[in-house]
Amino acid sequence: MKLSAGSMTADLFGPPPNGRWVSEPLAEGAAILRGFASEEAAALMDSLREILTAAPFRHMVTPGGFRMSVAMTNCGHAGWVTDRAGYRYDRLDPTTKRPWPPRPVSFTRVATAAAAATGFGGYEPDSCLINRYEPGARLSLHQDRNERDFSAPIVSVSLGLPAMFLFGGASRKERPRRVLLESGDVVVWGGAARLAFHGVAPLADGDHPLTGRHRINLTFRKAL
Ligand code: MD3
Ligand code: FE
């Protein structure tokens, strides 16, 4: 199905890579695929552990000098980084001065299948930002505008503890909607939603069989 206004007014059931999922329209260009990655979640976490041996999570610093409460790393051809010099994509991990680890096949399969299921065939992201939330960690309202091409969607995969996602509008003034994202949920953000303000409320404490006291979020981007 193509993501255009009115085309996804009811819940839709579709063929997953395996298992079952349900699609909820969220906004023009955005859809939540509830449980789309549930069957793959353990395999994604196994792949993540390998990435972390080469590129561990780290708390980056914003241009304003604040340590981010969300710990981050990346895989793929480019990684999102921030430091006192600004936000950017870098082909090298600033910590190791080496390229980011390659993107695991399990990551690619989920991202391209989710994009295709929402009308974005031929999705070829070159970057995957990996966020780790601990209880209390949050992401304040922002836009993702460091990518070269806004016509490609961002695909996000939630794993582990649930989080309250804040989905705003084109302006910071619009009061964000609150959407709970749970383990296995995949969201495809394209069209007008691609430049919407968004954030994550402070993570509630909990214990998840897959991630313990953490939430992991993978975001696939076409950055270069
Ligand atoms: C809506 N991450 O890394 S993922 C980020 O849960 C980020 O870790 C959040 O925002 C997280 O930049 C949200 C969902 C997401 C990602 C990018 C978007 C939603 C988006 C870009 C535009 C609109
Ligand atoms: Fe974002």
Annotated domain spans of the chain:
20-221
Phi then psi for 200, rounded to 5 degrees?
A: -135, 125
Task: Kindly give the pairing relationship between strand 98-99 and strand 215-221.
Answer: unpaired
Q: Return the ligand number nearest the Cα of 158.
A: 1
pLDDT tens, position by position, 20-61: 677 878 888 999 999 999 999 999 999 999 999 999 999 999
Mean pLDDT of the chain: 92
Which ligand lies nearest the alpha carbon of 142? 2
156 Cα–ligand 2 center, Å: 10
Strands (E), 101-185: 127-133, 139-142, 154-160, 163-167, 177-181
Q: What is the DSSP code (8-state) at residue 194?
A: G
For residue 187, the ligand 1 atom closest to its alpha carbon is 14
CATH architecture for the domain at 20-221 = Sandwich (2.60)
Gap from CA of 76 to ligand 2 centroid (Å): 18
pLDDT at position 214 over 60 = yes
pLDDT at 19 over 90: no
Q: How far is CA 143 from CA 40, 68, 140, 208, in A?
A: 28, 16, 10, 29
pLDDT digits (tens, 9 = 90+) for 75-132: 999 999 999 999 999 999 999 999 999 999 999 999 999 999 999 999 999 999 999 9
Protein residues with C-beta less than 5 angstroms from the ion ligand 2? 144
